[in-house]
Amino acid sequence: MGSIITYDMKCPECKQETGFHDFYYKNDEEYFFCENDDCRFSYKYEWKRDEDSKLVTRDGTENYKFDNLIMLETVVKDGVETITELNQNKDDE
């Protein structure tokens, strides 16, 4: 799996350059974590998977093209995790 890692990225919450960003360009999944001890904000975009780690599709078929997959956004802010199922892929909004 190919990824691009960026260190010292500016955090969207605390505005400090203490973020770690990892973007998997082959599957379009993305992860961010702020290493500032006073912040610890994080987010990730991942494809929805079932209990067997198999990709879940919008139409329930085995059509695993990107436009038929379901993207989940997970945000951790102030220690509270919020998971949102996006209606579109993250780049389409």
Indicate if the alpha-carbon torsion angle 93, 15, 41, 22 is positive or negative. Answer: positive
Around Cβ 38, how many Cβ atoms within 10 Å? 8
Contacts of 74 (CB under 8 A, 6+ apart): 43, 44, 45, 46, 81, 82, 83, 84
| Entry pTM | 0.84
Query: What is the model's pLDDT at position 87?
Result: 81
Long-range contacts of residues 59-68, Cβ cutoff 8 Å, at least 24 apart: 66/28
The DSSP element (H or E) to which 9 belongs, if any, is strand 3-9
Q: Note the pLDDT of residue 39.
A: 97
Give me the pLDDT at residue 90, please. 56
Report phi then psi at 67, rounded to 5: -75, -5
Per-residue pLDDT tens digits of the chain, which is 93 residues long: 689 999 999 999 999 999 999 999 988 999 999 999 999 999 999 999 999 999 999 999 999 998 999 999 999 999 999 999 998 655 555
